[in-house]
Every structure is written in C-alpha cells, then in structure tokens.
Homo-oligomer: A and B are copies of this chain.
C-alpha cells in the first residue's frame, strides 16, 4: 500500500461527466489498496467568471483580500462535487477547504506561499479508509484570512500536501500526456520524456513549457517528492499498472532510469524584449545603478549581459517580459539615464529566447558550441547568450524562433528515435 496525491486541473473537472470520470479513476486507485488524496482545481472557466464579476465591480485595483474570498470559492465547489462523485462510486470521501486542513500560507493575497500543512486530519481520514479531497489553490494566513496561491496554484497545493503526508508520488493529471522534448506544435517529431530531473523541469517550465506551475516543481525538488505528469483524458478504467508508468516522471534519482541524453529538451519563449544601455561609463556598482530602479518598479529581469569594457565604457543588455517592456524603458529614461550617463537606451521587442536544457551538459563539453554552430548553419544571428550548468539560452530575432527550435531538436537527436549521448 502506497500513498498518492492526485491533482486534477480545471479542464479535467470541467463538467459533471468529467468529475465522474475523475471519481472513477480515483476509485480504481483506492480499490487497489492505495491511500489517495485528491486536489482538484475549480471547474474550467469558474475562476475567470468570479474574477470577472470582481473586476466589473472594482476594476483592476480590487482589494486582494476580497479577491481571494471570491476566487477561492471555485475550488471549494469542485471539491465538494468531487467528494459526492466519489461517494456515488461507493468510495468513502470527505472534502476540506484550505483552512480546514489547515494549509498555512503567508499573507500575500492572490499569490500567497505555503508555509506548512497540518497532516493530522488528512492522515486520520486516510487511515479510516477514506479518500480525502483537499481544496487546491487556497490556504489561510495566521490571522484566519483566506489566501490563494496564484494561477496554477493547485499544482503547488498538491505537491505541498504530498510533502506533508510523505506521499510516495504526486500525480499531476492534465490535458497533455507528459513533458515533451519541445512543443509538438512547433516540432511534430517532439518526443515525450519518460523521466526528467527537477532541475531540467524547472528550466523547461520557466522557459515556456507550461505544463506545471514552476513553484510546484521547486517545492517538489526541495522536499524530494517524485512528481508524475500524466493525462486525465485516458479511459478511467485503463489498467492501473499501465497508468502508474505513463506520463513523465520528474525525479531526483539520476540512476539508470534517467535518460542518457546530453540535452533533454528545447524550450522557447516569444514573450521577451531586449533593452540595451549603450556606452555606459564602466565603474563599480554600475549594474546596481541600472537594475535597482527597474527591480524597484517590480519588473522581472531575465537574462543580463555586460560586454567587455572598451575605452572605459560598456554596453549593458538585459531582457524583460514583453508586457513590461514599455514600463522598463520609462524607468530607464527617467531615473537611470540621467544618473549613469550612458549614451542612449535601445529597446527591441522583436526577439525571442531559445534554450537547450539538460543535466548531461554538466559533464559534456562542446554542447554549447554545437548549439551555436547549428544556429550559424541556419544563418541565425545570436544577440545574447546566457549559460548555466544545465541550460544554454540565446536571444535571437523572433522570426527565426521555429526554425531554431526545429534545427536544435534535430541536431541534438531528440526526435522519435531515442536520443543517445553525444
């Protein structure tokens, strides 16, 4: 007997019929003798409907405490409905709101972080033979206010619950059947990965493969909880042994199960904009003088490149998300340019970021150079480069994005034929 946490997204919970399918699937696991906690999202569309009502009344500046009162209701409804559906399948089940468990969070309404989860109530029910439904996306702060965890927060709820009850695995059921070497819409030959390390998953997720909320992966990595991403669209009655091995397992164990590929996948994002300060006087503290005001304006900075100093000045470039591009330019022109004495600020929105990700890079030289050569062969100019132990990212002109992804996917042999070490 093992302990599993199942998480089902809004699409999987999107109708009465789908909720029944979720219940059938969970009942199958329960009937096999496993202890199961289920974390459902709100029914698809419900959160948007509720926040739409709030926006109609309060515009975009609504009090976030009240937004959380409103938005958290969607998950409470789907949790109750799922408990009823489980009971209809003959399974004893009980649902709990975040505050009932309790799922403790900090006070950052609409994007709270989980600080701890009490396991007593869940374990007591599991040991009494019940399936426990824990409402996702929500928690409670130290003063008893309801908080929510931000979009996709139910993933984090599930992993946090799995941590609290020491689950053997946390299964994230979603509308794709796993994590792919890259987006199959761009590269039809993209292949599902059977196993992936947490670090690789973090890079893949943060770089645009939106399968899992990134925070949930961090959480799972920190507490060593194996996470499996798998499809909720299969027949709920498929054999348990098949289902238990399906999807993509995200794990810490770099053993024989780990794939031997140097590069596991190609991530990409069009949601980038590049900003360059030209001819900045090169003196100590220059990076902080430039990026401090940008960070103070709550603008996230991604890649940062400072070129070699030439004749006492340097070019300083960084990327921001496209939707914060204009605001970043305003801050720089207003607060930074007059102070640091650069010649000018140049912005470019027509860029994208393409990254190769893989733990194998750590021990293999020449991976980055192979990437650069591949892009060069396609006539693609590289504007910025950033490297870490398990990824190499480049900024290129956005019109070349698909071409670059396809060429790299082929060069690193990620297609349907299993990859081999370089």
Contacts and interface: CB of A to CB of B under 8 A. Distances in A.
A63 interface: yes
Given A63-B83, A69-B79, 14 more contacts: A19-B57, A58-B88, A62-B87, A63-B84, A63-B87, A65-B94, A67-B84, A69-B77, A69-B83, A70-B81, A70-B84, A73-B76, A97-B146, A100-B146
Contacts of A146: 97, 100
Contact of A95 (B69, B77, B83): B69
A59 B85 CA distance: 10
A153 B252 CA distance: 52
| Most chain B CB atoms below 10 A, which of A59, A63, A146 | A63
A50 B171 CA distance: 28
Nearest to A94: B65
Contacts of A83: 63, 66, 69
Contacts of A358: none
A80 interface: yes
A390 B57 CA distance: 47
Contact of A73 (B58, B67, B77, B94): B77
| Most chain B CB atoms below 10 A, which of A20, A73, A95 | A73
The SS class assigned to the A binding surface is helix
Contacts of A19: 57
Interface in A40-80: 50, 53-54, 56-59, 62-63, 65-67, 69-70, 72-74, 76-77, 79-80
Interface in A205-245: none
User: Chain A, interface size: which category?
Assistant: 35 or more
Interface in A7-56: 16, 19-20, 50, 53-54, 56
A63 B79 CA distance: 13
Contacts of A67: 80, 84
Contacts of A338: none
Nearest to A71: B80
A183 B333 CA distance: 72
12 contacts: A16-B56, A16-B57, A19-B57, A57-B85, A59-B88, A62-B87, A66-B84, A70-B76, A70-B77, A100-B144, A100-B145, A100-B146
A80 B97 contact: no
| Most chain B CB atoms below 10 A, which of A77, A99, A145 | A77
A243 to B, nearest CB: 23
A59 B76 CA distance: 20
Contact of A54 (B50, B81, B145): B81
Given A57-B16, A144-B100, A80 B70 contact: yes
Contacts of A76: 69-70, 72-73, 76
A365 to B, nearest CB: 57
